[in-house]
Structure 1
Amino acid sequence: MVLGPFDHDASSPALRFILLADFVYILVVAALVLNQIVRLVAARRAKSAGSRLHLRLTGVFALLALIPTVIVAVFAGLTVNIGLEGWFSDRVRQVVGSSLSAAEAYEEEHRENLAQDARVLGRYLDNAKTSTFFLNEAELRQLLGQGQAQIQRGLREAYVIDGTGDIRSRGEGSYLFDFEHPTSEQIDAANEDGLHIIQDWDNNEFRALVRLDAFPDRFLYVSRVVDGDILNLLDETKETVLLYQQLENERGRVLFEFGLIYLGFALILILAAIWLGLWFAERLSRPVGRLTTAAQKVGSGDLDVQVVEEEGDDEIAMLGRYFNQMTHQLKGQRQRLLDNTRQIERRRRMFDSVLSSVTSGVVGLDPEGRVTFVNRSAERLLDWSGDEQSLALSVAVPEFGPLFQALKSSAGEFAQGEVKVSRQGRSENLLVRMSTRREIDGRLEGYVVAFDDVTDLVSAQRMAAWGDVARRIAHEIKNPLTPIQLSAERIKRKFAPIAGEDRDKLESMTDVIIRQTNDLRRIVDEFSKFARMPEPDRRTADLSKLVADAVLLQQTGQPEVRITADLPEAPVLSEVDATMVSQALTNLIKNAGEAIETLKKKGPPDGLDPQIRVEMTTDEQGCEIRISDNGIGLPEDRARLFEPYVTTRDEGTGLGLPIVKKIIEEHGGSLTLDDAPVFEGQTHFGAMAVIRLPVTLQTETDPQTPGEKTVEKAGMT
């Protein structure tokens, strides 16, 4: 408005005030917009519903306002610059310069002519004064008129004035009413320079003030008529050229002020667009935000949420109504699903409870033979860690692979077999049963693998079979042994004296018969012991003392092995047969020493220090005796060591460990074989026998009578 209708230039105070007011207005609106943006960014950081959409819409509106504004700004800047280039081109500059030169030449011509004529007339008067010393005013006036007439270009007026500007003489046509009194500054300038030209465009004349040197305090004051319009045009031309030069020098500032004006206007538009975008985005994002918040609540399980339905029939209002209908329907469907899920969950818990409580291992397979379900017994029997899900059965349990392939290749629905597996150095016999699972329509749904650990059953069967065999062998062999031995002795006594030279051979042969008969009798005695283990004569005994006696006996019998014992100081009482328990402990410590001897024969490791460690600990459940060595160790099929006639030594009978196991079990305990820990300073580990026996707990019933005690039997681990 100021640049246009009010016709102000770019540097006017009014325009600056308007720009300042616009600047204040922009700051206020920008502060409001910035406040809204800060709140929007804070809501975005807080992840409020609808904040992202609100921010995007605002950004889109601002971008849509900014892009055309920038394009127009570039175009306007180029247009203004091109326009200024046309205004300040060389041709325009040459035209302006030529106009100024022509006006200045006209002015200079009149100025020089008047100065020349004034000097000539002044010298004329000075010469006359010099030639005539006494020259009165009348003569001076006559000389002034003559000289004025002799000037070819003509003078309008001619005066002789004094230093105060008063007229002393007048020439032809010089009247008092036309006299323009010179100023003291003009007189001083003429007195100093000798000549001073006075421009009077209003009266259309040039006036010259010349100092007369021959006259004291006198000046020649002449005038000539000129075209005042031309001279006024000269001033205007000068002013125009000066303005043109000023604008050319301030060209950059003009562009800057124009850009500033446009920038302010663009800021107003952009801020208005952002404000409009914020308003519109808020109206659009508010229902969307409500829907987002409601959707989050629905996702978290709250189906009772309802959104405020907008008025109208547009898509936003319809979306709110449809959302409320959807949540209402979802609530009903979820309730039905929950009821079904509860029933399924009850059935599943019952199914899992049954499968988890059974001692048989159960594994579920999909149609491709991958593991989908494993119960606890299966994990225990197969020593699984729980990461076998989705593995093929032949990969998870390679021993089951042949039986599973046989089931798949056969036309039957069932397969059964005994499979031997090895886990953590232990061999186990599993009775495996596999069957197919089919859907209602007969399609294959998967397979079920069920198995039981029959290792103890097989071992018991073998033990029973060996016991029966031992009884039969002892019965059949023991009876003829005595007659054979007696017959050999009689032959030796009767025929030795008459054998002569063959007496030595006869005695050696009969000695062999007697010796082998004794060996057979010893084997038969072992068979009898194994077949008919006597019932233990249980009496209260100190297990700690029994262990200490067994250790002392073996320390004497095995001096080359370092045997150490870590036993409790307090007595450990238990109802046991001391003779049978001592026999079992002695046998185990002796076997540990023999394992070390076997390792020495096969080539001991460097730095072997033969050691046997016996440790005994007690707790509320009983006592535990650990007999460890650093001998040859246990074989992979360690479970068979408890079977009769299974031994790792050439000279062993294989009945020692079975007898020891029966003794321990007869006393309500257990015997297991495991790998021994590596002893300090050693690199080799051997075997460890772990015996668990129940103990009796002694409780004083009356402090007054310490001799009376109540003995309670502890359970076993």
Structure 2
Amino acid sequence: MNRGDPAPARRAALRSSRAFRWAVGVGAAMIVALGIVLLFLLTQATNNRELYERNYGRLFALNVVVAGILLLVITWMGLRLLGRLRNGKFGSRLLVKLAAIFGLVGIVPGLLIYVVSYQFVSRSIETWFDVKVEGALDAGLSLGRATLDALANDLSNKTRAGAQQLADLPDAAVPLALERLREQMSAADLIVWSANGQLIASAGQSRFQLAPERPSPQLVRNARAQRSVAVIEGLDEAAATGGNTARIKAVAVVAQPGLGLVSEPRILQATQALPASLVANAIAVQEANREYQERALGREGLRRMYIGTLTLSLFLAVLGAVLLAVLLGNQLARPLLLLAAGVREVAAGDLSPKPALQGKDELGGLTRSFAEMTQQLADARAAVDKSMVQVNAARANLQTILDNLTAGVIVLDPQGHIQTTNPGATRILRAPVAAFEGQLLSQVPGLEHFGQAVQRQFDEYMNDRRQHGLDHWQESFELAIGQGSATAEVVTLVARGAEMPGESRLLVFDDISEIVSAQRAQAWGEVARRLAHEIKNPLTPIQLSAERLEMKLSAKVGEGDRAVLTKSVRTIVDQVDAMKRLVNEFRDYARLPAAELKPLDLNALVADVLQLYVREGLEDGHAAMRMALDPQAPAIMGDAQQLRQVIHNLLQNAQDATEGCALREVMVRTRFNPQSRRVRLVVEDSGPGFPEHILKRAFEPYVTTKAKGTGLGLAVVKKIADEHAARVDLKNRAGDDGLVQGAQVSLSFAVAA
């Protein structure tokens, strides 16, 4: 288990808080129950003089103790709430507000009832012992009867009005109407009887009786005669038993809907219980004379007893209301606070398991639903994180593949804007393509024509795909890198394009310049071999035939013709010799032996070859030879004989290039790159450089700027470089002013292991 996981601590705190609340709730319930029992005993004592005289003091003291305990509990809970509020604990304001609302709901009505009851009790007791009490008792009896009559008449009128409301209703609609009518009349029970005494519908307590009491025939006759009649029943039984069985029964005739001759009126019977206070007052008035003398002796004590009981009752009720307010407020606030805390944690990104209440109410179900939702969110986030890890891994793998591809990859939108590239594109195009993302490919400097050609190919492909169902296009391009500058280089690209999902376009291309050059070199080698074979064979017979003609005819012609013959034969022989030399050079190019690679000190080889040219330069006035050799350059793998031929060819070409120049200088350099572990040989001259059309095909046989050259020098250099797995580069050197300052040829060799 993770030691930093807050879930176990939260669950432990929840269990502790739950146990504490249970203890407080049980204790409060016991105290309230004890207070109610004591209050009940106290009220019983006030109705029994002897019991009152014997036990009132002890009961009152016990109630005061219970009230004190309740007050202490309420004070402690109030201080605890204030402490939570002062400490800024989450949810304390809501808990205080709920407790205050419930407390006010219990206290305000209680105080109002107490004030009214206090005034009523005080003044009532004083009036009990007035000189006119006896007359008042008689008047009270009359008033009681008048009140009962008024209640009976009122119920009779209400019953008659209710019967009118039921007159137009069929029997099926009567039950629902009775419920509404019972609420309007404040009646305890309503029954509709048929004319023959059958029960049609009922509302109130009669619904739970198997055989409700029917109205007497006399009462029904009176009702038919007077439209409605009311009687008071059970008053004598209430006086005898002390219960509240007194009630008012009213009967009214309900007209049957329709105009049928056989329809009979229905009977509406309403029953309303007499108020307990009214019945009690009526009985009290009857008992007043008997108890008047007895109560007169304890007049002041009786007043204190009633007021004290009322006060203590109010105190217990208020304390109980406040305690219940705190408990109920806490009960209602707990799920809300739990949900609020959970929402705050989820908003902060914490999706750990959330506590839930086990109650069966809606709030408990809401907390459980929230906990389940949080768990589902956690599972979903875990799944998303796992998917994102897989996506990122796949993206990293794809990016690694793209970064290590030798081919260039560019993703374009339908308008030709660059969306993404790989390092291969920058390497092949010799341009920072990644820096132009979001721009058109044709806006990259040096790639204007390439970008326009690619866009045309994509447009044609989209049209042809709709017609012929093509899935890609492929085309080769010759791209002038650095076009317009002195160091321009021409590369041959083969490009392939296709449409990606989302309408993006994929462009994949590769540099096939070396492949094209190798194919051309192979083709020239085959041409040279065939030329050497086809041309060399007839040269010797031609030369011999010419010499034989001179020998045969020289004695037979005149002096002038002999000179012409000798000159002509010499011309034929010289030209045949020149053709033989040309054929031999082609043969040597075609039959160049395989290189025998051995560890070789390139610096020593360059210095050895260069000594010959330095002597020649001093004697014949050739171009000045300079060298700058890297002393850190290690040995390379090479064939000394072939590399000597390479150096000779390059130096000879450099010398020839400086003819007619004011500054005739050739520089030979070696340079070691520790990062790539390669040694570079560079030959530079101060000549006019290579024309642009020569740069494109400089390594092809028979491509030369010399009037007498064969064009095989650089072709041989390229072929020997390929045998040594060396990269050969050819470019013009540009000065600070952008003008050409000469040509540069360089070869890069691998270091010997």
TM-score for both structures, normalised by structure 1: 0.47
Highest CA radius of gyration, 1 or 2? 1
**Would you tell me which structure has more helix in proportion to its own residues?**
2
Q: Name the TM-score, length of structure 2 as normaliser.
A: 0.45
